[in-house]
Amino acid sequence: MHAKDIINLFGGQTAIAAALGKSQSTVSYWAKVGVIPAKWQEPILNLAREQGLELSANDFVTSNRMALAAQKLNGGNELVLRMPKTVATQQQHLDLGIQKQIEIDGIGMGVLSDGTPFLTGRGLARLCGVFHNAIQGIGEEWVQDVSLPRVTKIRDILTSHGHVLDMPYIEVEQRSGTFFAYPDTACLAILEYYSFDAGPNIKEEAKKNYRLLAGSALRDFIYTQVGYDPKNALPEKWKYFHDRVSLTYNALPKGTFGIFKEIADMIVTLGQAGLHIDETFVPDISVGIHWSKHWGTINGDERFGQRTKYEHNYPDYFPQAASNPQEPWCYPEEALGEFRRWFRETYIAGGRFQNYVESKVKENKLPISFAQLAIAAYRQ
């Protein structure tokens, strides 16, 4: 099906725009280029199911192929559309975080957790030789019902390079608020606009920077400046766990076990549910305190042998690292069965894990949503 046919299936541009909470101009642009962005395919499929309409994921792929064929017939052989193999979901954007970020000569830049290089709005403005409010204005105009010439031209530039963006920036939710990251594809299109297509607002600064950063040069420049290697990148959400495991590897005396390594399966389970440890969520401290009390209650030294101290270090970016090296207890392996039974029946089922997570919420170190998901994830 062509993108226009998918739109008409719901009663036209105005109807589907209202159902999705988007502006009519956005849907009109989808119809114009013949491509519905991957981000909106899953919501549209859900909407079709709600309304009892026949629509499948393959219809979107067909739509993209038809758009590509039409472009070639019109002489646009250089256009290459990205063909999604599967329907993307909104969660792909909701999960994004900032993996690395720096500022050089007033130009803020970084890499998102999915590897997307970006510039800040102020950084992009500096490259283009314009004020920050000019870049902000592009975002505001993007969602207007009637596309203004500036946005229309920038969208055309994106399309000519094979890109369709729902917005010129990606919203990243942080505890401090919403951060707007302008992906490299949008940055280059805006930079090209101010270099050649902005009429009286063409900027020499933009021309100079466009010559330096066109093609993949901007992406490579950002990766180099922030020290990011896309071929060997560890997802940021697993970095805390990875670095802690690296520092505890072979740290324990033979014949003993430590709390952090023993509860690694819990941490991985939470990570698979999208909840990852960081400097504010260190459950092994809570587990260690409660287990130590239990050890004293059951006379563990007499039953299993004496526990002993070992050297444990936190990654240097953890606030706990200020008192490195730590000296937590490690326990004789003969007590592993007792620990695992206690952890399962007392710490988890007995509500102590829930109490720990809820205490972090009260301290404003974790959001309520995190607490609810963490408790539910490990109970399943």
| CATH code of the domain covering residue 55 | 1.10.260
Domain stop point among 162, 197, 232: 232
With both helix axes pointing from N to C terminus, report the angle between 41-51 and 57-73 in degrees, rounded to the nearest 10: 120
Q: Average of pLDDT values for 80-94?
A: 34
| pLDDT value at residue 293 | 93
Rounded to whole angstroms, the Cα distance separating 305 from 338 reads: 13
Rounded to whole angstroms, the Cα distance separating 356 from 367 reads: 13
Q: HSE (CB half, 13 Å, CA atoms) of 5?
A: 12
In this structure, which amino acid lies at residue 136? Answer: Q
> Does 91 reside within a domain?
no
Q: Domain residues for 150?
A: 96-232
The CA-based angle 80-226-190, given to 5 degrees, is: 40
In this structure, which amino acid lies at residue 54? Answer: E
- Tokens matching residue 78: 């250089």
Closest Cα partner for 379 from 253, 275, 298, 293?
Answer: 275
Q: Average of pLDDT values for 206-229?
A: 90
Contact yes or no for 145/151 (Cβ under 8 A):
no
DSSP 78: T
pTM exceeds 0.85, yes or no: no
Average of per-residue pLDDT values in the chain: 79
Closest Cα partner for 41 from 106, 77, 85?
Answer: 85
Q: Average of pLDDT values for 55-83?
A: 48
Q: Pairing relation of β-strands 177-183 and 170-174?
A: antiparallel
Residues in the chain: 380
> Does 52 reside within a domain?
yes
- Tokens matching residue 171: 């919203």
Which position has the higher pLDDT, 310 or 280? Answer: 310
> Does 155 reside within a domain?
yes
- Whether residues 195 and 291 fall in one domain: no
- Whether residues 104 and 33 fall in one domain: no
> Does 83 reside within a domain?
no
- Whether residues 114 and 224 fall in one domain: yes
DSSP 90: T
Phi, psi dihedral angles at 109 (to 5 degrees) = -150, 165
The residue written with tokens 């299993």 in the block is 304
* Chain mean position to CA 269: 19
Domain stop point among 197, 216, 232: 232
| Order of strands across the sheet that contains 256-257 | 256-257, 329-332, 308-309
- Whether residues 205 and 155 fall in one domain: yes
Closest Cα partner for 143 from 5, 8, 20, 7?
Answer: 20
- Whether residues 218 and 274 fall in one domain: no
Rounded to whole angstroms, the Cα distance separating 238 from 95 reads: 13
- Whether residues 147 and 39 fall in one domain: no
Number of domains comprising the chain: 3
- Whether residues 61 and 184 fall in one domain: no
- Whether residues 62 and 122 fall in one domain: no
Mean pLDDT check: name the lowest of 167-176, 234-243, 316-325, 329-338. Answer: 234-243
Q: Does the pLDDT of residue 79 top 50, yes or no?
A: no
pLDDT digits (tens, 9 = 90+) for 90-124: 333 445 678 889 998 889 999 987 789 999 999 99
Helices (H) and strands (E) in the chain, counts: 20, 8
- Whether residues 241 and 202 fall in one domain: no
Distances from the Cα of 144 to the Cα of 31, 48, 139, 148, 158, angstroms: 16, 25, 9, 8, 18
In this structure, which amino acid lies at residue 154? Answer: I
Ranges of H-type helices in 10-98: 13-20, 24-33, 41-51, 57-73, 91-94
Distances from the Cα of 213 to the Cα of 23, 100, 191, 216, 223, angstroms: 32, 20, 9, 7, 13
> Does 78 reside within a domain?
no
Q: Does the pLDDT of residue 20 top 60, yes or no?
A: yes
Q: What is the band of 313 on the pLDDT scale with cuts at 50, 70, 90? A: confident
- Whether residues 219 and 242 fall in one domain: no
Rounded to whole angstroms, the Cα distance separating 279 from 47 reads: 40
> Does 163 reside within a domain?
yes
> Does 296 reside within a domain?
yes
- Whether residues 323 and 263 fall in one domain: yes
- Whether residues 364 and 341 fall in one domain: yes
> Does 54 reside within a domain?
yes
The residue written with tokens 């093609």 in the block is 215
Domain stop point among 232, 252, 272: 232
